[in-house]
Chain A
Amino acid sequence: MSIRLTALLSLLALALAGPGRGAVEPSAMRTIPAGFYEPLQRSTTDAARVAVAAFQLDECPVTNAQFLAFVTANPKWRRSEVSRLFADASYLASWAGDLEPGVAAPPDAPVVQVSWFAARAYARWAGKRLPSTAEWELAASAGYTRADGKDDEAFKRALYAWLARPVPTVLAPVSSIRPDFNGVRGLSGLVWEWVDDFNTAMVTGESRADSGLDRDLFCGAGSIGAKDPSDYAAFMRQALRSSLRASNTTTSLGFRCAHNLP
């Protein structure tokens, strides 16, 4: 495919995402101020808090229109051509065709059914990277009106209402989500999101102990060593991450990109 056609398709995709929603520029980024991430679970030797440097994060999760531009430019990431090593059989399954998201995947809705490999490839293509768990969780801890969402009742209500709702057949546009304290949308309320180091979930980070770790602390045992056993949302994210393989895709799992501060 010629570069010109790719560019045209990208423009078309962006135009499709655009009408009537001038307020949201899908590739816009916001700055997340430096802060601390408290891992949900840690061993006795781990630090209670991990310092996270300020970074940039996409305002919205990556949309179908944006992902269409990516697969248009990178044929090996099209549904019919992707290697099974890098994406399972459900990869982009809700799309109508290789280069046609279709009615079930509106251009301005977040792209889902993408693997970690695909998300990473997209980020690299876009000149960005995936956020780390620490970065993502730090960003997601912001409420609507406060830096710490734990004290934001309206934010917590919306979060738990979303967690308890099933996945809709057609996802809402990214612009429909209320921006948080940092101006970021949809860290909750739309889809789950890949993080770069998703596969460290349930792992303490002490590399030599990996094989001996009790990775699978289920039932009540799941709260052993947890910093805050009442943070159910964090448990749900952690459970999801630890259930995934890098080639997996689900109907409610998308991603967004991050960038170091210039």
Chain B
Amino acid sequence: MNPIRLTPVLALAWMTTLVAADEGLGAAQGPVALPPEVMNLPIEQAILTAPPHVPPPITRQTAARVVVNLEVREVVAKLADGVEYTFWTFGGSVPGSFIRVREGDEVEFHLNNHPSSKLPHNIDLHAVTGPGGGAASTFTAPGHSSQFTFKALNPGLFVYHCATAPVPMHIGSGMYGMILVEPKEGLPKVDREYYVMQGEFYTTGKYGEEGMQSFDMAKAIDERPPYIVFNGSVGSLVGDKALTAKVGEKVRIFFGVGGPNITSSFHIIGEIFDKVWPEGGTKLVQENVQTTMVPSGGSTIVEFTVNVPGTFVLVDHSLTRAFNKGALGMLKVEGPVDRVVYSGKEIDAVYLGSQADEGSQAAKREAELKAKIAAEIKSNPVISGLTKEAQVEKGKQVYMGLCFACHQPDGKGLASVFPPLAGSDFLLADRDRAIRIVLKGLSGPVTVNGKTINSAMPAQESTLTDQQIADVLTFVFNSWGNQGDAFTADQVKATRNQLH
């Protein structure tokens, strides 16, 4: 038959055949004549779930005829805050509905393309043994429905996706999901199962650019996606949408990558995968894994027990994807802390690296300085020219910008970590030493008001001017009940010079 021009008679004959085949598409051959042992299997409607949920484990011990009804819908939805995108979906979500069948099941698959769709779609299930994985048999025009049947021969976790040209655009619009073919013996029992898929989006605008975004073909061809996300949008698994678990529970994640191009270095910050079934296969081949590589159009099954409470962050450990493109999710674990497994923060102290040693040489100079500076204060006419109040005011600004974080706004410090300045015998006993400490810092044990504090203060000689140091010390020596003379810039300068 000449395919270019159908004669009217041939066209009619062809149409008649079509109608007989229930207006099916492609080379619709009518329902397959199943042998009695298959025909007589119990018929079951597949439970489909939207991510991050997974249908319940299959408990039956024998095969069934499982009917899957999956609807293709083209929908506008949120890709990120203020950013919209037209998603083409299997079942209305990205990734598409999770399908769960059992090894040996006969699956009757219906793909229904919603009448409002702009495009034809199909489905290539990697769980299918047959040309195109079902793609040719499910090629469906808008407002039509296709049916095909396959036997789930191989157990495993399989990606499915639309395979209509241009396929990178179909997948890049969200047309992927997963089907689990449970092995006959089932999977080990766990407390929680979740469904997470990574995929990237090639938007015309850059990351975070607000408004309706369209698919950017050039970025797709160059593999430069502004978005790489889990479960179809930035923030799909954070806040009140985070995955949850309780301490002591065993968690399984069915993780896949839809792509269309970018693979994943899947990692959960603060967790170790106790068990990994790499590439979604059925053989447990690895234990105690930090990061597992997941190919585009591939999957992995990971399992771990959560031992301590807190938030565990799911990332693609190719980290600009997590930091700049959205590949982040959260698992929130509730329950009692176990400080043996994880203590939480025990100490936070300032670390200065190498610091000038406050040795005996400095101590000798201290005595000399003390006499000199005391004399200078008395003889310096500038001191009398400055009002102490103005200095206190300026010094307060310095203090509240720099010193208060450790010594606290009320000058009381933090018990056993940062020494108090208010009523501090150590401070008030030696004005010269005070200048020196501000300039050069201080580390090691000191005794303040009878208590020993072993901490460290950074040097401020390059941060503050002489006048600022004089001001802040004047403030400190005249606040919270402290009383003392004003410090002068010259005093500070003299000390600075002597120390160098």
Q: How far is the CA of A210 from the CA of B4 in the complex (A)?
A: 10
With A165-B86, A205-B4 known as contacts, the answer to whether A218 contacts B143 (CB < 8 A) is no
**Any chain B CB within 8 A of the CB of A103?**
no
Interface residues of B in 60-117 (CB under 8 A from A): 74-76, 85-86, 115-117
With A203-B3, A245-B25, A250-B141 known as contacts, the answer to whether A85 contacts B167 (CB < 8 A) is no
Looking at the complex, which one of A217, A235, A242, A248 makes contact with B166 (CB distance below 8 Å)?
A235
Q: How far is the CA of A85 from the CA of B17 in the complex (A)?
A: 10
Interface residues of A in 18-48 (CB under 8 A from B): none
With A200-B3, A245-B25 known as contacts, the answer to whether A160 contacts B116 (CB < 8 A) is no
- A248 close to B141 (CB less than 8 A): yes
**Any chain A CB within 8 A of the CB of B409?**
no
**Any chain B CB within 8 A of the CB of A223?**
yes
Looking at the complex, which one of B1, B12, B163, B221 makes contact with A85 (CB distance below 8 Å)?
B12
Interface residues of A in 157-188 (CB under 8 A from B): 157, 160-161, 163-167, 169
**Chain B residues whose CB sits within 8 angstroms of the CB of A218 once the complex forms:** 122, 124, 132, 135-136, 139, 163-165, 167
- B215 close to A160 (CB less than 8 A): yes
- B132 close to A167 (CB less than 8 A): no
Nearest CB in chain B: distance from A220 CB, A? 7
**Any chain B CB within 8 A of the CB of A246?**
yes
B residues contacting the other copy or chain, number (CB 8 A): 53
Nearest CB in chain A: distance from B230 CB, A? 22
**Any chain B CB within 8 A of the CB of A230?**
yes
Identify the interface centre among B19, B23, B164, B215: most chain A CB within 10 Å of its CB.
Answer: B164
**Any chain A CB within 8 A of the CB of B248?**
no
- A219 close to B15 (CB less than 8 A): no
**Any chain B CB within 8 A of the CB of A207?**
yes
- A166 close to B3 (CB less than 8 A): no
- A251 close to B115 (CB less than 8 A): yes
**Chain B residues whose CB sits within 8 angstroms of the CB of A84 once the complex forms:** 19
Looking at the complex, which one of A197, A220, A229, A244 makes contact with B141 (CB distance below 8 Å)?
A244
Identify the interface centre among B86, B135, B143: most chain A CB within 10 Å of its CB.
Answer: B143
**Any chain A CB within 8 A of the CB of B310?**
no
Nearest CB in chain B: distance from A92 CB, A? 13
- A249 close to B143 (CB less than 8 A): yes
Looking at the complex, which one of B115, B140, B215 makes contact with A90 (CB distance below 8 Å)?
B115
With A166-B74, A243-B139 known as contacts, the answer to whether A236 contacts B25 (CB < 8 A) is no
Instruction: Classify chain A: how many residues form its interface, as a range.
Output: 35 or more
- A85 close to B142 (CB less than 8 A): no
**Chain A residues whose CB sits within 8 angstroms of the CB of B169 once the complex forms:** 232, 236
Nearest CB in chain A: distance from B453 CB, A? 64
- A250 close to B135 (CB less than 8 A): no
- A250 close to B142 (CB less than 8 A): yes
**Chain B residues whose CB sits within 8 angstroms of the CB of A251 once the complex forms:** 115-117, 142-143
- A167 close to B124 (CB less than 8 A): no
**Any chain A CB within 8 A of the CB of B231?**
no
**Any chain B CB within 8 A of the CB of A239?**
yes
**Chain B residues whose CB sits within 8 angstroms of the CB of A200 once the complex forms:** 3-4
**Any chain B CB within 8 A of the CB of A141?**
no
- A166 close to B75 (CB less than 8 A): yes
**Any chain A CB within 8 A of the CB of B391?**
no
Q: How far is the CA of A207 from the CA of B163 in the complex (A)?
A: 27
With A165-B214, A199-B6, A250-B142 known as contacts, the answer to whether A230 contacts B86 (CB < 8 A) is no
Main secondary structure of the interface of A (DSSP, over half): loop
**Any chain B CB within 8 A of the CB of A252?**
yes
Identify the interface centre among B3, B5, B163: most chain A CB within 10 Å of its CB.
Answer: B3
**Any chain B CB within 8 A of the CB of A238?**
yes
Interface residues of B in 412-435 (CB under 8 A from A): none
Main secondary structure of the interface of B (DSSP, over half): loop
Nearest CB in chain A: distance from B142 CB, A? 4
**Chain A residues whose CB sits within 8 angstroms of the CB of B212 once the complex forms:** 165
Nearest CB in chain A: distance from B136 CB, A? 4
**Any chain A CB within 8 A of the CB of B262?**
no
Looking at the complex, which one of B76, B144, B163 makes contact with A219 (CB distance below 8 Å)?
B163
Q: How far is the CA of A149 from the CA of B79 in the complex (A)?
A: 30
**Chain B residues whose CB sits within 8 angstroms of the CB of A148 once the complex forms:** none
**Any chain B CB within 8 A of the CB of A88?**
yes
**Chain A residues whose CB sits within 8 angstroms of the CB of B142 once the complex forms:** 250-253
- A239 close to B1 (CB less than 8 A): no
**Any chain A CB within 8 A of the CB of B490?**
no
**Any chain B CB within 8 A of the CB of A121?**
no
Q: How far is the CA of A88 from the CA of B115 in the complex (A)?
A: 12
Q: How far is the CA of A223 from the CA of B164 in the complex (A)?
A: 11
- A219 close to B167 (CB less than 8 A): yes
**Chain A residues whose CB sits within 8 angstroms of the CB of B11 once the complex forms:** 246
Residue of A nearest to B260 (CB): A220
Looking at the complex, which one of A85, A216, A223, A229 makes contact with B135 (CB distance below 8 Å)?
A216
Q: How far is the CA of A243 from the CA of B131 in the complex (A)?
A: 18
**Chain A residues whose CB sits within 8 angstroms of the CB of B164 once the complex forms:** 218, 222, 239, 243
Nearest CB in chain A: distance from B313 CB, A? 31
**Chain A residues whose CB sits within 8 angstroms of the CB of B86 once the complex forms:** 164-166
Chain B interface residues toward A at CB < 8 A: 1-6, 11-12, 15-16, 18-19, 23, 25-26, 74-76, 85-86, 115-120, 122, 124, 131-132, 135-136, 139-144, 163-169, 173, 204, 212, 214-217, 221
User: Could you pull out 22 A-B pairs where Cβ atoms are within 8 angstroms?
Assistant: A86-B15, A157-B204, A160-B204, A165-B86, A197-B4, A199-B6, A207-B2, A216-B135, A216-B139, A217-B165, A218-B167, A232-B166, A235-B165, A239-B120, A243-B120, A243-B139, A243-B140, A245-B18, A245-B25, A246-B15, A248-B144, A250-B143
Which 3 interchain pairs have the tightest Cβ spacing? A243-B120, A222-B165, A216-B136
Extra contacts besides A218-B163, A219-B163, A236-B119 (19): CB < 8 Å: A90-B143, A93-B115, A157-B204, A163-B215, A167-B118, A197-B5, A205-B3, A207-B3, A216-B132, A216-B139, A218-B124, A218-B136, A218-B139, A219-B124, A223-B165, A236-B165, A238-B165, A240-B120, A243-B141
